[in-house]
Amino acid sequence: MNDSKDLGEIHTPVLLDRVVELVSPTLEAQGSIYVDCTLGMGGHAAAVLRACPNARLIGFDRDAEAIAIASKRLAAFGDRVQTVHAVYDEFADRLDDLDVDEVDAVFFDLGVSSLQLDEAERGFSYMQDAPLDMRMNRSEGITAAELIAELSETELRDLFYRYGDEKLAPRYARAIVAARGVSSIDTTGQLVDILQDATPAAKRNAGHPAKRVFQALRIRVNGELDALESALPQALARTRVGGRVVVESYQSLEDRFVKRTFSEVTESRAPRDLPFIPDNLQPEFRLLTRGAEQAPAEEADLNPRAKPVRLRAVEKIRSHAA
């Protein structure tokens, strides 16, 4: 990334004002703790710290480059900032390491970051030719190229169905297996060409043929859904009464899980015919949003990455912890 560029020019945080509005009420006390589980380049974190001068930040990111950039951006906030180089499914363990029992607000901005999309060499974008990597943490894990080389045709088909909802999954899996039998598939450009050639002419105007396949590979490479399914319950459990959890999702698999989890914690566990609901069966959280909030048209027009966002938020109103 060119350090001379203004971060504001390359990174526009999605629904920034709304996120600040949702978390600010619970970050008024001195020493209140805001956890950003997806620190990225620090756009949301900087806005929250400016709006909440008594709060301190614990910022998670698995991407060392993102941590370095965010640390520079947030340097002006001094010791109010603590960064953690880790996947957010380590939420509880890392809070324990920091001797933090409860937090006041938690934010997840899911999916791939602007930094990862804009750096061609990371291999996330199907619009630029690059090594087929897709790892958010480039120091560990299997690459997308290795997945493409190792998975069977059936496994590739199932992967594209499950994480990409790709209707042409059988066709694409078959084409990939045939192509790798001739030569290895090492770059995004090679994969895009294979997918384009395998797409029926009648389907070629229905969006880029690589979009859902790249999404599926990225989710699998980084274990994104597994991490979310582990991290969100941890965040809810470690949020104090009066605290809030806010999640921005960008694809349906993520949003369905967030919706289901929030429904479970905001609904009473009492039988429907019970005349009186005891406190231990009352919900621990209440919804702060009606359904999933989307970016207004003006924002989506200015920042295309805001178009698919779905924001959901809850507030903890009681605790059933032993």
Contact (CB, 8 A) for 57 and 45: yes
Residue 97 annotated as part of some ligand binding site: no
Do β-strands 33-36 and 103-109 pair in parallel, antiparallel, or remain unpaired? parallel
Give the ranges where the chain is alpha helix by DSSP (H).
Answer: 7-10, 16-23, 43-51, 64-73, 91-97, 114-118, 144-150, 153-164, 169-180, 188-198, 211-222, 224-237, 252-266, 297-302
Distance CA 67, CA 87 (A): 12
Residue 89 annotated as part of some ligand binding site: no
Residue 126 annotated as part of some ligand binding site: no
Residue 44 annotated as part of some ligand binding site: yes
Distance CA 279, CA 300 (A): 42
Residue 291 annotated as part of some ligand binding site: no
Contact (CB, 8 A) for 220 and 163: yes
| Token digits of residue 166 | 């790709």
Distance CA 53, CA 32 (A): 10
Residue 116 annotated as part of some ligand binding site: yes
| Token digits of residue 199 | 């797409």
Residue 40 annotated as part of some ligand binding site: no
Residues belonging to the binding site for S-adenosyl-L-methionine are 42-44, 61, 88, 109, 116
Residues belonging to the binding site are 42-44, 61, 88, 109, 116
